[in-house]
Amino acid sequence: MDQKKYEIGYTTGVFDLFHIGHLNLIRRAKELCDYLIVGVNTDELVRDYKGKTPIISFEQRLEIVASIRYVDEAIAQTDLDKLKAWEVLRFNALFQGDDWMGHPRYIKTEADLKTVNADMIFLPYTKEISTTSLIEKIRK
């Protein structure tokens, strides 16, 4: 079955120490939409919900993401509420790695987005690499 193609797609993340898992996610998201917007979490937001500060500054993470050929627009994400982002961006689908599937915040996000007719799409998480595992490797 052909996967549905969306007009505007949105995906978000920290994208700290940019790695192949991030690239795979962004490439797959772009395959499923005509125009891909990527929300890069500000340092302040990351501190709020993860309790740690990214290694690479927000400005540099934004610049790296904006330079990727699959990305049509990179913006700051200052709030985790995807419905608020939808009010501004009017995306048709939100893409996220499937490591977030079943997480209470995303169960709510999926329900919220349904009310505005936007789909929540989980894409396969790339195994064996993450910012956290890279930091652990460097520290060893």
CA 41 to chain centre: 9
The answer to the question of residue 42 lying near ligand CTP (CB under 6 A) is: no
Residue choice 97, 110, 120, 121 for contact with ligand CTP (CB under 6 A): 97
Give the residue among 38, 44, 74 at the shortest CA–CA distance from 57. 44
Tell the residue number behind the tokens 């309790």, with chain if given.
51
- Binding characters for ligand CTP, 57-96, by CB under 6 A (x = yes): ---------------------------------------x
Q: Which CA distances in Å does 94 have to 20, 23, 110, 128? A: 20, 16, 9, 24
Which run of H or of E encompasses 12?
A: strand 6-13
In the residue annotation, 127 being an active-site residue is answered as no
Residue choice 90, 108, 132, 136 for contact with ligand CTP (CB under 6 A): 132
In the residue annotation, 52 being an active-site residue is answered as yes
Interacting residues toward ligand CTP by CB under 6 A:
13-15, 21-22, 25, 96-97, 99-100, 125-126, 129-132
